[in-house]
Amino acid sequence: MKIDFSEYRKKVMGCWLGKAVGGTLGGPVEGICKPMSLTFYDPVPEEMMPNDDLDLQVVWLETLLRKGLPVNRKTLSEAWIEHIHMYWDEYGASIRNISQGIYPSASGYFDNGFTAGMGAAIRTEIWACLAPGDPALAVRLATEDACVDHAEEGVYATLFIAAIESAAFVESNRDKLIETGLSFIPSSCRVAKAVKDTIKWWHRKKNLHKVREILIEKHANQNWTDVAINMAFIILGWYAGGNDFNEILCSTVNCGHDADCTAATIGSILGIINPSSIGEKWLKPIGRDLILSPNIVGMHHRKNLDEFSEQITRLSCDVLKYYSSETSFGGAGETNYLRTPLNNNYTSITDIENNEALISTSPFPMVLEYPECIALKPEENKEFSVKIQNPFNKNIKIKLHVSVPDGWTLNNLDFNFVLGKSSLKKCYFKVKAPASDTIRAYRNPIDFTIEAAGLKWTVSAGLPMSIPWLCKRTGKVPEKCPGFSRKDKLKIIEAAGHFANIPDGPCVFTTDVKTPFDIIYRIVVQSNRETKIWIDGDLKNLHKGLFRVPALHRSEETQKDIALSRGWHRFTIALGNGKGGQLFTGIGYPGSWKWTENIEYRQPILK
């Protein structure tokens, strides 16, 4: 398929202008979960409102220009640590995982209460613009991005939008575009069901507010950034607004919830389909300066959207050629925007599951496969594997040595093999975690030392260990902090991360936590029932267990800012009567909203 390069450039510019307009319109009302009646900016801005929807894509562009192709999840995860100081929701969970050596895809899947958040679906435009008219390629690139901080529904929403935006470069029919998006995600997933319900109810009711109420009832939950309801609102606004940019944009934003993201996304789609549909009244107040959030650091970005768009259009020529896309440009001229990629065969190892992590891309791509739950319990002996790919056109003799920290054990330390040209080898080994009385260090490195072609180097990853809780049943929630002794009938609960399963009925949990600094921490404790929290015997918080969004910055009555000295502290949590559910306990910094990745735990020492 050949696309006229001059028309493509206009559509790319329309994409980013639509993104900026929608994000600026929706930014002031983000998180409002009731119907609204906006018809224009309120307040009217003097410049584009900075927004993570665009910020992250500026980071991705600089990363690609520096590191070259192919697009890969490991390089993007490194850019998170280097450039992005945004720690809310899925961003914070994945950054905590990456800091502990848990790389994507596992970084987006493990211990993440926001796998279905909007954070990746809002940053798809760069992948669509780099793969215009090739939705399969846009989906492939977007997958590398989304899996860093999402899994399943959050990834599906990303692929849905990326496919629509890519196809919009060559197709303008709304229904065909939506069908294209749906074709890349499971028909049984929540995102697909929400989209199909929206279309069904729109055709029956033809009323924005009535359809919105039906969708809220069926697809919304306490997390207003959940992808299912927000994908539904994007589609609802698209239908309700007819063919008018103003009406579609305002219909979308007035549905509420993650309104800056939904408006920015539909603005991008409309800007690609018809750049001239964005009226001057929307463009004049925001200008074209590229305004980034202060949380984005170490960047060397272009000063305005025009230059940013021009970089992307030139880079697209390299991307389409590198991935052998059927899309090509007419009138683009000769371009060579990127340095020569290191791993021309890397793309054959990108089918990486949720419990796997891309731990190296050069000189040999390597993928570590964890057990399904990823975290190991004390003395648990689980099978791991590491896949090593030879990207070179010759056989290579390899020596591989695996090592783990003291207290951990391996059943197979050394592997010697010849890796055929362009082939892949999978090495299996078992890892046994230390005993239950071991301090749960925040980072447990597993090191792979490789010798090949006269070189020797080490690739490292993390071995997460479960968080220990002691639990006992009670008749009711106690007034005072209950003690624990060896005489109690105790159940040991090893939680694979910050979410612990709760038994039926009233009960009390306890664990020991080591904090590294003398500062104020934000403690978030959530469950599905009455909850009471003591630290070192002092009552710190209590609530009814009605709110369950495990975020550091919007956890309402379930959060408390508490000054703690460095060292060990006893956390005791009493839970009222209820059936099952999960206990979430998180510790972070109130100023930055960052989870403390260097917190350590131990099973309480009892008398």
Segment 11-63, tens digit of pLDDT: 999 999 999 999 999 999 999 999 999 999 999 999 999 999 999 999 999 99
List the CATH code of the domain at 346-462: 2.60.40.10
The predicted pLDDT at position 412 comes to 84
Contact 460, 445 (CB under 8 A): yes
At 340, the pLDDT band (50, 70, 90 cuts) reads: very low
49/292 Cα distance (integer angstroms): 8
pLDDT, tens only, 424-452: 999 999 999 999 999 999 999 999 999 99
**346-462 and 467-602: identical CATH topology:** no
What string of DSSP letters covers 309-338?
A: HHHHHHHHHHHHHHTT-S-EEES------S
pLDDT, tens only, 190-239: 999 999 999 999 999 999 999 999 999 999 999 999 999 999 999 999 99
Question: What residue spans of 37-134 are helical by DSSP H?
Answer: 52-67, 73-83, 89-99, 106-109, 125-130
Domain boundaries, given as residue ranges, for the chain? 2-330, 346-462, 467-602
Which of 99, 230, 92, 203 is closest to 149 using CA atoms? 92
pTM for this predicted structure: 0.96
Q: Tell me phi and psi for residue 290, to 5 degrees.
A: -90, 100
- Helix, strand, or coil here: 66? helix
Please tell me the least confidently modeled range out of 237-246, 321-330, 375-384. 321-330
- Strands (DSSP E) along 404-486, which ranges? 409-410, 414-419, 424-432, 445-452, 455-462, 467-473
List the CATH code of the domain at 467-602: 2.60.120.260
- Helix, strand, or coil here: 48? coil
DSSP state of 71: P
Tokens coding 607: 């008398």
Residue 258 counted as an annotated binding residue:
yes
370/362 Cα distance (integer angstroms): 21
Stated as kind and residue range, the H or E segment containing 8 is helix 5-26
CA 388 to chain centre: 26
Q: What is the CA radius of gyration of the chain?
A: 25
Tokens coding 124: 């798809």
List the CATH code of the domain at 2-330: 1.10.4080.10
What value does the mean pLDDT take over residues 397-419?
Answer: 95
Segment 243-251 long-range contacts (CB within 8 Å, at least 24 positions apart): 245/270, 245/274, 245/277, 245/278, 245/279, 245/282, 246/39, 246/279, 246/282, 249/21, 249/22, 249/25, 250/25, 250/38, 250/39, 251/208
Residue 260 counted as an annotated binding residue:
yes
